[in-house]
Each structure stands twice: as C-alpha cells, then as structure tokens.
Amino acid sequence: MSLVTGGCGFIGSNFILDWLAIENEPVLVLDKLTYAGNISNLEQVQSHPLFTFVKGDINDKDLLETLFKKYQPRAILNFAAESHVDRSINDPDQFIRNNVNGTFCLLESARQYWLKLNTVEQASFRFLQVSTDEVYGSLKTYDPPFNETTKYSPNNPYSASKAAADHLVNAYFHTYGLPIFITNCSNNYGPLQFPEKLIPFTLLNALQNKPLLIYGDGLQIRDWLYVTDHCAAIRQVLANGKPGETFNVGGQSEKTNLEVVNTVCQILDEIKPHPNSIPYASLITHIKDRPGHDRRYAIDAAKIRHELEWEPKENFASGLRKTISWYLNNLSWIQTIKSHSSFQNWLELNYEKRGSE
C-alpha cells in the first residue's frame, strides 16, 4: 500500500484517479480537506476496493503513528501543501505550519516507522516529496532553464516554505538514510484545479462576462505541464528512481501569462462563443502586479527523460483544450467552488481591492 497525503487536492486527486486506473496496489489518502482539498474530486473511486480515505493533518503525529501501524505503507507520497503565492503573501503562517512543520512531522513519523522494518522492507521503502520549480527563484529572459543542480533562491513565502521542506527531505536521506525522492515540477494545469490559479480563474471569469485580470504587464513566463503528465512522471520516479535523487519535471511549454489568457480566449471563442458575440480577449484587464512576482520559470527535464524515459504526452495546445472541455462539462463543480467563502474572500483580497495598472 502507498500513503498519499493531500490526495484530495488538484494534483493529488488526479494522481489518485490515475493510480487506481493503472496500478493494482491499494492506496490510502490522508487529507485534512482545507479549502482546496475536495473529497468530491475522488467521488468516482470512493467505492473502489483499493481506495481508503482518512481525514486528518500531517502535523498530527499520533494519527500518523496509528496509520503507519495499521496500514504499513511501502511508500509515502507527500502532495500535502499550501500552494498559492498570493495566499502565502497574505497569510505566511499557514505555509510554514503546513509546508515546513507538516513535512518535518511526516518525515520524522516515516523515519520512526522505517526503522522498525526489516532489512528488505527498509530497502524497498520510499518517501517522495512533490515540490515546485519556484524554489529556484526567478530567471532572466535568456537564462538557461533550472536543472537539478540549480541553487535554491526562493523569493516569496510559498517558495521559501517549499524550499525548506525540500532541504529537510534531503537531510533525512543524508543523515538517516531514509530513501527519498524530490520532484520539482513546473506550473500544472488540468481538471479539478481550484479556480484561484490562472487558467481556471480566467475561464471562470470569461464565462461570467467578468474582466480577465492579469498582474502587471502579463509578460511573466512559466513552463506549463499537464497534470496527468506530471502524475506519470511521479509514478516513474517512484518505480524506477534512485533514492536520494531529485528530478525536475517540466512540460517544455514556456508561455507568458498574457499568451495563456489569450489562448484560453481563442479556444472559448471557437467552442463557446460569448453570448454578445464579442471576443473574450476584449475582457482582458491589467491590474497592479503582486509583490515579489518572479519574472520567469523554466525547467530542464533532461534528467528524467534520459534516466527514466519520461516525456510529456500533451503539448500546451492539446492539454489546454482538454482542460477547458473538462471545465465546460463540469460547471456544477465550478459553481460549488466559487460559492465557497474562502474563494470569495481570496477574490476580494487579491483582485477586487487591487488597483488597475
């Protein structure tokens, strides 16, 4: 059995759905169901014989000890994290608690469990930390992409908390020998993503004929990775990676935020035209940039391509069409999310009170 923390969030739930469709191994999901953790994301597998769900916090040591003793997992995959930069700027405390302290608690509980295993079980045990390219900081336009040896240089509370967690994971390998992996991924997109992120946020506003809000000039560059490609990479690392290694996972799709929003608009113009027959791009509105906004992220994924033979199956155009189609076919899911008080509060704080550019 594998233990997946944060399995009701965006990437975690996509990972669980793929896992149960592909693998023949039980999976235990631990999630405390914060605003972004939605148990309905896993509704289609809740009766699956290989699926078990427990509501709980990775900071709860007693709970972790109980789960390790009862289920005896052979692997832990840590997706549990606060993950939005804007929220980290407004409320960094939660990011330190969940991303740093939570990872430490999970590591220490895993180590205590691992020490009690026999030699064969210890050798096959795995701890996989799902991290982000944001730990590396910001690139200039012509800088080479981040690789696994790039120095960490986080620039906001979110990326700093993830960097601290990565350092702890590495320390547990070098100090205690705990068999770990770290994956640093680029910007994920796809089904089930909470609409505080750029693509679903843009789509939601377009469907409501609201301004499509873009920070600053919109020329910030990100590498975009379709979520199921990311899930496939994680399975490859878990199955075939060498313990102690880091793998960067990217989609080979660098786009400016403005390009992303314009592409969403173009696809909507084609498949769901505006009721007033105006181009959706006419709703684009530039607002004041957020503090410490990194200019560019880019991932060099050569290591995972060469060592584990992983490649993304989706390019940005194909992945984005699949994403938009999913949201259009699941409008009730969006309605439930947008009515949530945490989403409304975030919207007011980060956009409605922010001046125009």
d(CA 271, CA 93) in angstroms, rounded, equals 42
Structure tokens at 211: 């301004």
Structure tokens at 169: 């994971």
Q: Of 31, 86, 133, 223, which is the active-site residue?
A: 133
**End-to-end alpha-carbon separation of the chain, Å?**
51
d(CA 258, CA 215) in angstroms, rounded, equals 9
Tell me whether residue 133 is one of the annotated catalytic residues: yes
d(CA 196, CA 86) in angstroms, rounded, equals 9
Structure tokens at 338: 């947008």
Give the number of other CB atoms < 10 A from CB of residue 31: 28
Q: Of 31, 57, 86, 134, which is the active-site residue?
A: 134
Q: Of 31, 57, 136, 158, which is the active-site residue?
A: 158
DSSP secondary structure, 161-207, as one string: HHHHHHHHHHHHHHHH---EEEEEE-EEESTT--TTSHHHHHHHHHH
Q: Which contiguous run of DSSP H or E holds residue 333?
A: helix 331-338
Query: CB burial class (10 A; 0-12, 13-18, 19+) of residue 51?
Result: middle
Give the number of other CB atoms < 10 A from CB of residue 306: 9
Q: Cα separations (Å) of 168 from 79, 249, 289? A: 15, 20, 32
Radius of gyration (Cα) for the chain, nearest Å?
20
Tell me whether residue 158 is one of the annotated catalytic residues: yes
d(CA 328, CA 272) in angstroms, rounded, equals 9
Tell me whether residue 57 is one of the annotated catalytic residues: no
Amino acid sitting at position 172: Y
Going by the DSSP 8-state scheme, the letter that residue 310 receives in this structure is -
Q: Cα separations (Å) of 45 from 22, 39, 40, 42, 72? A: 13, 10, 10, 6, 22
Residues noted as catalytic = 133-134, 158
